[in-house]
């Protein structure tokens, strides 16, 4: 299996890819305000690459439950200087975490190679055509509702089956827009319109999504369901995040989105060594 994102190609099976998070926001749930200035965000991105991140995911709008939406102009003002600076300094793909087609287009022009679309439940295909035209990678993430409404009362008859149907339908529509299968990565969207039980069901069911034939990405880092389960506040959720990361790798997930690159790499490397077939 291959994942193509402009000039980058990843061939699987291979060790899991760590996607390091760079939030250029004042209000992200775990690191809001820490990297709001472009120079701090760039320094953080460089540090994550040095630590072993294989992809950087740069976002200028928090999507935590109840987050206040950001204007296109403000989102561009936050992310573009960071992408421009990082594109000239790192040789890993840069991913733009956005719901807005205009931000995706500008980010791709500035040097990004992947569009991380948490709103893949879109009716309009403008963003997909931009991805197709650029030959960019595309993260197709499942979300029920919007960040403003998603945690109000998420309801599914069968969350695993519904997310799978969503992926199948989106893959068909993406292909119709000119986005090839090997440009697409799938993400169940932990915490996006899901209760604790929905998140657990999706994590337990991860292996089932392998049959769709696309790499799987997972974002569990420091998320609130870990806090709900373990009674840990946001600064103390690394152990739960690492447990989920190792579990995900066992289930066949190939990309892990995380704030904690060093720790995630170490946990996953150890886990892979222990679960490798004996030589």
- By the criterion CB under 6 A, which residues form the site for ligand HH2? 21, 23, 25, 28-30, 59, 62-64, 97, 116, 118, 139, 141, 187, 189-190, 217, 219, 257
Between 67 and 87, whose beta carbon lies closer to ligand HH2?
67
Between 217 and 226, whose beta carbon lies closer to ligand HH2?
217
Told to judge if 77 belongs to the known catalytic residues of this protein, a careful annotator would answer no
Coil, helix or strand for 5? Answer: strand
In the complex, residue closest to ligand HH2 by CB: 219
For residues 76 and 233, what is the distance between their CA atoms, to the nearest angstrom? 31
Count of other CB atoms within 10 angstroms of residue 49:
19
Contact 149, 126 (CB under 8 A): no
Least distance (Å) from ligand HH2 to the CB of residue 239? 17
Least distance (Å) from ligand HH2 to the CB of residue 68? 11
Q: What share of the chain is helix, strand, coil (3-state, %, to 5)?
A: 45, 15, 40
Given the residues 77, 223, 228, 269, the one annotated as active site: 223
Between 48 and 190, whose beta carbon lies closer to ligand HH2?
190
- Cα 44 from chain centre: 18
Contact 209, 228 (CB under 8 A): no
Told to judge if 237 belongs to the known catalytic residues of this protein, a careful annotator would answer no
Number of helices (H), then strands (E), in the chain: 9, 10
Is the bond into 13 cis (omega within 30 degrees of 0)? yes
Given the residues 4, 105, 170, 257, the one annotated as active site: 257
Between 63 and 264, whose beta carbon lies closer to ligand HH2?
63
Between 30 and 51, whose beta carbon lies closer to ligand HH2?
30
Instruction: Give the Cα-Cα-Cα angle 32, 93, 145 (nearest 5 degrees).
Output: 50
Least distance (Å) from ligand HH2 to the CB of residue 279? 35
Least distance (Å) from ligand HH2 to the CB of residue 2? 19
User: Which residue in 79, 259, 248 sits closest to 268, CA to CA?
Assistant: 248
Least distance (Å) from ligand HH2 to the CB of residue 120? 9
Just list the catalytic residues. 223, 257
């Amino acid at each position: 299996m291959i994942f193509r994102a402009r000039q980058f190609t990843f061939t699987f099976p291979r060790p899991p890819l760590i996607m390091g998070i760079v939030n250029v926001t004042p209000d992200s749930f775990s690191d809001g305000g820490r990297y709001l200035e472009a120079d701090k965000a760039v320094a953080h991105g460089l540090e994550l690459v040095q630590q072993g991140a294989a992809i950087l995911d740069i976002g200028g709008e928090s999507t935590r439950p109840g987050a206040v939406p950001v204007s296109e102009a403000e989102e561009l003002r936050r992310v573009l200087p960071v992408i421009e600076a990082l594109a000239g300094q790192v040789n890993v793909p840069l991913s733009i975490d956005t719901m807005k087609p205009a931000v995706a287009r500008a980010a791709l022009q500035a040097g990004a190679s992947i569009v991380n679309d948490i709103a893949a439940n879109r009716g309009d295909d403008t963003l997909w055509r931009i991805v197709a035209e650029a030959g960019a990678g595309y993260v197709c993430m499942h979300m029920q509702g919007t960040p403003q409404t998603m945690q109000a009362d998420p309801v599914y008859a069968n969350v695993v089956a519904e997310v799978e149907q969503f992926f199948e339908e989106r893959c068909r529509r993406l292909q119709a827009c000119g986005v090839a299968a090997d440009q697409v990565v799938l993400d169940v969207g932990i915490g996006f319109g899901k209760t604790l039980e929905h998140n657990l069901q999706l994590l337990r069911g991860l292996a089932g999504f392998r049959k769709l034939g696309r790499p799987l990405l997972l974002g569990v880092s420091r998320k609130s369901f870990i806090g709900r389960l373990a009674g840990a506040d946001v600064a103390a959720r690394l152990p739960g995040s690492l447990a989920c990361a190792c579990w995900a790798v066992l289930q066949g997930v190939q990309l892990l989105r995380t704030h904690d690159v060093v720790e995630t790499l170490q946990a996953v490397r150890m886990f892979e060594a222990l679960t490798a077939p004996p030589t």
